[in-house]
Amino acid sequence: MRNILGQPVIGADFWPRPDVVDPIVAHLKGGTANIKMFGLRRIGKSSILLELERRLRGEGMAVIRIDAQKHTQFRALMADIVDGLPKTGTKEIWQKVTGNKLVNWLIDRSVEAYGSNSSSGGFVNEFAHHSAWSGEIENLLKAAGPMVLILDELPIMARSMLASGYRGIDIEQFLATLRSWRFECGVRMVFAGSLGFGALERDHKVNIRDHISDPLAITIPPLNQNDALAFVEKLAASAGMTDWNSALSEAVVAQSAETWPIFLQFGFDAVRRSIARGAQAAAEAIRSSVPMQLDENFYSQFRTRLARYGTQEPAARTILKLVSASDTVTFTAIDGALAAKSWLDLRDDLLEYLKDDDFIEVDTKTGTVKTASKLVPVWVRARAWGR
């Protein structure tokens, strides 16, 4: 298992995550749930998606995995999906689809076939022609058999669509179409990415919840203590480090701000490159180099996400400061802090947004809130407003 920093891994380089992967595979094989898996960048989502694709293909399922953030128009995503569909057993439907001029245009991406006739300007708004192609596409999806569509970074694509001239109602039609494919065509879907759908709802007033309420939310937790130690030991063994010992592994785990693989990899790499072979020296090697990488790769994400709250940022900061001060905080305590500044009416939406942005976890049964990871209180307390 090579220590590959910053890139998705497959095969022998992938550390098994049965706690995450096995339930998703079971849900998708059984057709019992669609999945949404959002979280901070670089916590292992892309590697898990690659492992899902490998496992599901091994089960005989058709899998289409698309990095949606590269697209700014729905028709380009459609073309990728149609291009990825299995061709066997669907000959007659394929003939119908390719005989439909608009669908053919979607597939071969020849914009010139229709030119610009959209009221929103600059491109053909395919949602204005929904009836011209949706029926045949849905027949094709049904004929494809058990299929999983993995859409990575779809919220980023939707945001780019809005910037390209689509309207909020177009995004809602887009999401409604995907929902129809799930319920009417049996397409199983995995939505994943670093940014959830909440920002679209907050920033662009797009109705999101009605269209993505059915997928089951999956989180990628840090490794537990035993797995984290085993992970570091495996890195050392794979690197052929005969002078490595368990005390060094314990130092890497203890000094890691969290135990997602990337943090352990940073720590291991810092010790490997140093001459440190004692626990104390290893800890110092990690402290001297890893925090800068954390700030660049993780804490900057928090800054960017919170800045998007606009006029609601002060209220969001109030919640974060309160939650970061203890293990758990009650709804009542949050209500009191917000009411003191006349922000109580923002509470429900802010809890949803902060949860969506990986700041907090909300337990509605107990009426409590806690930070989503150990990173959050460290970051909050380092801010002037968080002290």
Query: What is the Cα Rg of the chain in Å?
Result: 23
Cβ partners under 8 Å of residue 178, min gap 6: 151, 189, 211
Q: Report the DSSP beta bridge partners of residue 190.
A: 35, 150
Residue 2 is predicted with a pLDDT of 86
Query: pTM of the prediction?
Result: 0.83
Residue 314 is predicted with a pLDDT of 96
Under 8 Å between Cβ of 183 and 31: no
Residue 108 is predicted with a pLDDT of 46
Under 8 Å between Cβ of 267 and 286: yes
In this prediction, the residues of the chain whose per-residue pLDDT falls under 70 are 87-136, 276, 295
Distance CA 66, CA 64 (A): 6
Residue 142 is predicted with a pLDDT of 81
The Cα-based distances of 185 to 36, 182, 203, 285 in angstroms read: 19, 6, 31, 54
Distance CA 102, CA 97 (A): 9
Q: What letters, b where the CB count within 10 A reaches 16 and e where it falls short, cover 132-151?
A: ebbebbbbbbbbbebbbbbb
Number of neighbouring beta carbons within 10 Å of residue 343? 18
Determine how β-strand 147-152 pairs with β-strand 188-193: parallel
Residue the block writes with tokens 């984290």: 228
- Looking at residue 123, its amino acid is F
**Per residue in 107-127, pLDDT tens?**
444 334 334 443 444 444 556
Question: Sheet holding 35-38: strands in order across?
Answer: 62-67, 147-152, 188-193, 35-38, 216-217
Domain ranges for the chain? 11-217, 225-304, 309-386
Under 8 Å between Cβ of 317 and 386: yes
Determine how β-strand 329-330 pairs with β-strand 368-371: antiparallel
Determine how β-strand 368-371 pairs with β-strand 360-363: antiparallel
The Cα-based distances of 202 to 104, 117, 293, 356 in angstroms read: 36, 30, 30, 11
Distance CA 253, CA 247 (A): 10
Residue 123 is predicted with a pLDDT of 43
The Cα-based distances of 115 to 25, 76, 110, 119 in angstroms read: 42, 15, 9, 13
Task: Outline where DSSP puts E strands in the chain.
Answer: 35-38, 62-67, 147-152, 188-193, 216-217, 329-330, 360-363, 368-371
* Domain 11-217 annotated CATH 3.30.750: no
Burial of 224 (0-12, 13-18, 19+ CB in 10 A): exposed
Residue 100 is predicted with a pLDDT of 54
Kindly report each contact of residues 362-369 with a partner whose C-beta sits within 8 Å and lies 24 or more positions away, as own/partner: 367/330, 367/331, 367/332, 368/328, 368/329, 368/330, 368/331, 369/319, 369/323, 369/328, 369/329, 369/330, 369/331, 369/334
Distance CA 358, CA 352 (A): 10
Residue 136 is predicted with a pLDDT of 66
Distance CA 14, CA 80 (A): 27
Residue 122 is predicted with a pLDDT of 40
Under 8 Å between Cβ of 78 and 61: no
Distance CA 140, CA 87 (A): 10
**Per residue in 158-200, pLDDT tens?**
999 888 888 888 888 888 888 988 988 889 999 999 888 877 8
Under 8 Å between Cβ of 87 and 94: yes
Domain range 309-386, CATH class = mainly alpha
Residue 99 is predicted with a pLDDT of 52
